Amino acid sequence: MFKITAVPALQDNYIWVIHNDLHAAAVDPGEAAPVLAFLDAHGLQLEAILCTHRHADHIGGIAELRGVYNVPVHGRRHPGNPHITRDLHEGDRLRLDTFGIVFDILEIPGHLDDHIAFIAPQTLFCGDVMFGGGCGRNFEGTLAQLHHSLQRLAALPDDTRVYTAHEYTAANLRFALACEPDNPDIRQRITETRLLRAASLPTLPSTIAQEKATNPFLRCAQPEIIQTLQRRGLTDTSELAVFTALREWRDHF
Ligand SMILES: [Zn+2]
């Protein structure tokens, strides 16, 4: 058995730590100090590092952590990420025997080219591709790739917990409500989010079911979203055109 705990880092990152009573694995450690403090406070030994993509706020703590714990780093190798010791590709499996977890690896480009997802039963680590109520920016690759990556994640079972890497939920839901003012699930999630943040608690993980009900980037065929965008001048109502219009609007929202 294992638990997964959010360790807040940097401005608004979460480093997710998988742990039992003795051992831990850290996902996207953008800085080392909060992970080391968490391990110390709980008497845990670091066993592995998982890396979804190479942005500095996801890999910035790896060198320092490996100075203390010489552990493997599982992720997609890239010239901009010198830390990876095991290169993972679409269809690979990653076993973490300590925790009895087997992850399936999905390649999910569209934020960065080297972005991968780690998927186990009821568990998704998706880095910066999906956020609570939103999605990542398109820095590399195409918006069609980002859309496709999100659709693959949305096809996971409804009860899959979504461990994404930033606390952006409140801002994303304000945008979601502008897209779909009549969606009661968005209003309910805004209320829940406000209560959690008022108590300084993470709004994550969410679930795939919750994201499908409230995240506009997974709802590009919804009539209310299409109508909202048409009022803003959209003419092409294909899913990709809707997705593209949403992503562009979100960038300036
Ligand atoms: Zn990123």
Q: What is the pLDDT of residues 86-129, one digit of tens each?
A: 999 999 999 999 999 999 999 999 999 999 999 999 999 999 99
- Rounded to the nearest angstrom, the distance between the alpha carbon of 157 and the centre of ligand 1 is 24
Q: Where are the alpha helices (DSSP H) in 2-122?
A: 33-42, 56-59, 62-68
- Rounded to the nearest angstrom, the distance between the alpha carbon of 52 and the centre of ligand 1 is 9
- Rounded to the nearest angstrom, the distance between the alpha carbon of 130 and the centre of ligand 1 is 11
Long-range CB pairs of 221-224 (<8 Å, 24+ gap) are 222/180, 224/179, 224/180, 224/181, 224/182, 224/183
- Rounded to the nearest angstrom, the distance between the alpha carbon of 146 and the centre of ligand 1 is 13
- Rounded to the nearest angstrom, the distance between the alpha carbon of 183 and the centre of ligand 1 is 29
Average pLDDT over residues 13-27: 98
- Rounded to the nearest angstrom, the distance between the alpha carbon of 140 and the centre of ligand 1 is 10
pTM here is 0.97
* Cβ-based neighbours of 219, under 8 Å, separated by 6 or more: 179, 180, 212, 225
Q: By percentage, how much of the chain surpasses pLDDT 90? A: 100
- Rounded to the nearest angstrom, the distance between the alpha carbon of 189 and the centre of ligand 1 is 24
Maximum distance among all Cα pairs of the chain, rounded to whole angstroms: 58
